[in-house]
Structure 1
Amino acid sequence: MATDFQRRKISGIFGAMDADRDGLLTESDFRALTSRWLALRGTDTSTPEGERLAAIMMGWWGTLDDAAGNGGRVSLDEVLRVVDELPKMPGAVTGTADAMFEAVDENGDGAISAAEYHQMIEAWSGTGTSTDEVFAHLDLDGDGSLSREEFARHWFEFWAGDDPAAPGSWVFGRV
């Protein structure tokens, strides 16, 4: 059962993904999320980059929908039930981390810069947000970027963890 902390952090990201604010995640919510990503990148699905980005985002929807098992409508409680199972499935979580890393690493240099991270947060939230403090908290080695390994660790801590002090708890901003 999800703790209060898990419910708070997942509720925040759930709310950002629920584009129509109906309390359920649907394919159309993920299409809206995908559109935000594409718009921030200044591209669309007619380009190879846009097509790849859309495939990553919509693939995440397919995975969530399958895991929730509710036929195209996913409630917050269903997401939390999936989250309860994630510590037992580290490979699945790091697999989504790899896909998200690819989506966020816009220039393909193998690292997520502060600017790329900022763009990710704006795409997820749909609003302008200061990310300097959060990025500094996530950049464990202080090199100015997040490596694939750092990102995967943080992604796992966010989705499968329950430690408010873990840097990964800040992946989508301060909870």
Structure 2
Amino acid sequence: MASDLQRKKASVVFTAMDTNDDGFLERADFEALTDRWTGIRGEDGSNRLREIMMGWWDALSATADQDHDQRITREEMLVAVGNLGAMLDLVTATAASMFEAVDQDGDGRVTALEYARMIHAWTGKSTPTDDGFARLDLDGDGKIAKSEFVTHWVEFWVGDDADTPGTHLFGEV
């Protein structure tokens, strides 16, 4: 069962991903997020981003869609989040794919601008991200390495410590 903190974190992401505010996550929500993200990035490569996002939808629906109706409720997602500790391989694989999506220029590091674009894509709003990025940049080099991103992703989805940087991967909780 997901802890209160995990429920809170997952709810933040659920709300952001439910692009049409109908109370369900559906494939169309992930397509809309991808369209928003590619619009923000303003570059080619949308095919790979779409592939990554639809892969995330496939993984989420396989683990969370308990009634197999191709719609995930908030409660179904929270049940799945509570089980992620036993699926660390899946969490890590998803992290690696999402890192590739965020690392727009493919240099193996996420810059503050790339991170800001990810947050804008999730929320649909331009929000300040400098403090959040600084918290995630563990070595203070101005970039988030893949290993840092994976650690933060696992902290976000599996962790139950409000003080870890990964708790705020998708913004303030």
Answer yes or no: same fold by TM over 0.5. Answer: yes
Does the 8 Å CA contact 2:136/2:169 hold for their aligned counterparts? yes
In the alignment, does 2:97 pair up with 1:99? Answer: yes
TM-score by length of 2: 0.96
| Structure 1 residue 71, shift from structure 2 partner | 2.6
Match of 1:174, SS state, is: coil
The RMSD of aligned alpha carbons is 1.0
Provide the aligned length of Structure 1 versus Structure 2: 171
Amino acid at match of 1:79: M
Q: What secondary structure, in the 3-state scheme, does the structure 2 residue paired with 1:51 have?
A: helix
Match of 2:163 in 1: 165
Q: How big is each residue's C-alpha offset from its partner over 1:105-144, in whole Å with a ceiling of 9 and x where there is no partner?
A: 0011100001100011001111111000000111111111
CA distance in 2, matches of 1:119, 1:79: 25
- Higher RCO (C-alpha under 8 Å, 6+ residues apart): 2
Percent identity between matched residues is: 51
Secondary structure of 2:32's aligned partner = helix
Separation in 1, partners of 2:5, 2:91: 19
Q: Is the 8 A contact 1:23 1:75 kept in 2?
A: yes
User: Residue type matched to 2:2 in 1?
Assistant: A
Q: Indicate whether 1:64 and 2:60 are aligned.
A: yes
**Quick one: distance in 2 between partners of 1:9 and 1:154?**
13
Runs of 4+ in structure 1 deviating by more than 3 angstroms, as ranges, are: none
Show the counterpart of 2:26. Answer: 26
Deviation at 1:84, TM superposition (A): 1.1
1:76-105 CA deviation, whole Å, 9 max, x = no partner? 111111111111111111100010000000
- Whole-Å Cα distance in 2 between the matches of residues 132 and 142 of structure 1? 12
Q: How does 1:1-150 map to 2 (within 5 A)?
A: 1-43=1-43, 47=44, 49-69=45-65, 70-150=68-148
Unaligned regions of 5+ residues in structure 2, if any?
none
Q: How far is 1:17 from its partner?
A: 0.5
TM-score normalised by L of structure 1: 0.94
Structure 1's unaligned 5+ residue stretches are none
